[in-house]
Amino acid sequence: AGQPPERLGESATRAAMNLGGKTGAMNQAALDSASMGITQDAVLRNVNRDIELAAAQEAAGQEVTAISLPHTAEALEEAAEKRTDTLADELDELDEFDDDPALRALEARRIAQMKAAASKKLANQAKGHGELRDIVEEEFLAECVKSDRVVVHFYHADFERCKIMDKHLKLLAPKYTACKFVRIDAEKCPFFVHRLQIRTLPTVLVFHDGVNKDRLVGFDELGGEDDFATRTLELRLHQAGAIYIKPSKSSAQKSALGSLHR
């Protein structure tokens, strides 16, 4: 019963021929009739098996493909019509966008801004932004005037607090690539230590367009403890104008609500 119907027919023919050989009385018509009868029985068994399988699938909550074909075709046709209508609407909106000079101008400005930002980022990377780098005294002036915003850490190799400051600056440098972060050994740059009146280490200077605008001496403004959070230094550098922290939606909403209650 597990063989395909065509093989069952062939087996039936061979069985009928053997039977004819034994009796000598079965003609070709009888062979054909026997073969057809057995083949029909096999087909009926296959049909009954398919019906039973379909009933089992339906009982299990599955979709019976053979029964659902007409409905499936209608559903596919309806879905295709809806998708066509949606695409037509989207194309209409694009056509309206293309026809609106104000929207075209806005989009052009946005593209120009994105290109300018990408170009600026590449230029900053070429200047050494994105990491905390070591510089020497001969490079100091050039490093401070070539970038709009520069953070310089005057350190001593043996001071533990200088190492702590480096740890935090290394985390902030790749986050704020618009600002250059460098460090210089105070023992090896006596001219600028004297000129800039560096008396306590670590000292962090903030330069705007080559001009020293702010300084952070030791950890006093960071809570006075060695275990201050990077966020504390981040906020202090934002206050100094070295970096810009974008306000979150929640803080912007709080600020707006605060201004309403004033």
In this structure, what CATH number is given to the domain that contains residue 177?
A: 3.40.30.10
DSSP-derived letter for residue 131 is S
The tally of domains found in the chain comes to 2
51 found inside a domain: yes
- 69-75 mean pLDDT: 54
Q: Which of 38, 59, 80 is the last residue of a domain?
A: 59
Q: Note down the domain range covering 186.
A: 130-239
247 found inside a domain: no
Cα separation values, 172 from 30, 64, 92, 149, 239, Å: 96, 61, 47, 14, 15
**pTM, rounded to two decimals:** 0.55
Specify whether 47 is located in the same domain as 134: no
Peptide bond into 202 cis (omega under 30): yes
pLDDT reported for residue 123: 72
Q: Which of 39, 59, 79 is the last residue of a domain?
A: 59
25 found inside a domain: yes
13 found inside a domain: yes
37 found inside a domain: yes
178 found inside a domain: yes
- Decide if pLDDT at 202 tops 60: yes
Average pLDDT, the chain: 76
9 found inside a domain: yes
103 found inside a domain: no
- Decide if pLDDT at 49 tops 80: no
